[in-house]
């Protein structure tokens, strides 16, 4: 879930997002003897898009390239569109996508979108403008 907090002022709120750990991050926590764990991320809605790659890298261990691909995949963009937008080959995007799914413990794009939704790393407007028509 998410909770809106007052930031530096009423026009600068922050959102505290609590999300369960998945994939390798959860596995690492379980190895330390904790059966479940989550992450709390504080995000300024105005800076969420700028911070998203860093947040994903820290939560899931994504490389910078994986973070860029992950954001577009999470917005529902098909692999060919992601490849074109990022100047990558379709095979490279497929490889990154497999690594992303492995690190997050999901098998399909819809599952991945659902896993990232609680993080609110981009607005509905971002999803609408990024999604294919």
Higher confidence at residue 121 or residue 79? 79
The span from the CA of 95 to the CA of 74, in Å, is 16
pLDDT tens for each residue of 80-114: 999 999 999 999 999 999 999 998 889 999 999 88
CATH number, domain of 116, equals 1.10.10.10
What is the extent of the structural domain holding 112? 2-130
What is the per-residue pLDDT for 128? 42
Contacts of 106 (CB under 8 A, 6+ apart): 22, 23, 112, 115
Q: Rounded to the nearest 5°, which phi and psi values hold at 20?
A: -70, 145
Token pair belonging to 40: 């709390």
The span from the CA of 72 to the CA of 79, in Å, is 9
State how many domains the chain has.
1
Q: Rounded to the nearest 5°, which phi and psi values hold at 4?
A: -85, 130
What is the per-residue pLDDT for 60? 83
Tell whether the torsion through CA atoms of 126, 108, 68 and 55 is positive or negative.
positive
What is the per-residue pLDDT for 129? 43
Higher confidence at residue 74 or residue 55? 74
Residues 60-91 as b or e (16 or more Cβ within 10 Å = b): bebbebbbbbbbbbbbbbebebbbeeeebeee
pTM flag (> 0.85): no
């Amino acid at each position: 879930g998410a909770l809106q907090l007052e930031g530096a002022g009423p026009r600068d709120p922050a959102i505290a997002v609590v999300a369960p750990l998945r994939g390798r991050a959860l596995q690492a926590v379980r190895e330390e003897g904790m059966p479940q764990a989550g992450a709390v991320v504080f995000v300024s809605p105005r800076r969420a898009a700028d911070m998203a790659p860093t947040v994903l890298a820290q939560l899931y261990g994504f490389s910078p390239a994986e973070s860029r691909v992950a954001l577009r995949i999470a917005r529902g963009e098909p692999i060919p569109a992601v490849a074109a937008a990022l100047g990558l080959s379709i095979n490279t995007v497929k490889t990154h996508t497999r690594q992303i799914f492995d690190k997050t413990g999901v098998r399909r794009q819809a599952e991945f979108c659902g896993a990232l939704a609680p993080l609110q790393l981009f607005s509905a407007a971002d999803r609408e403008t990024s999604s294919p028509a």
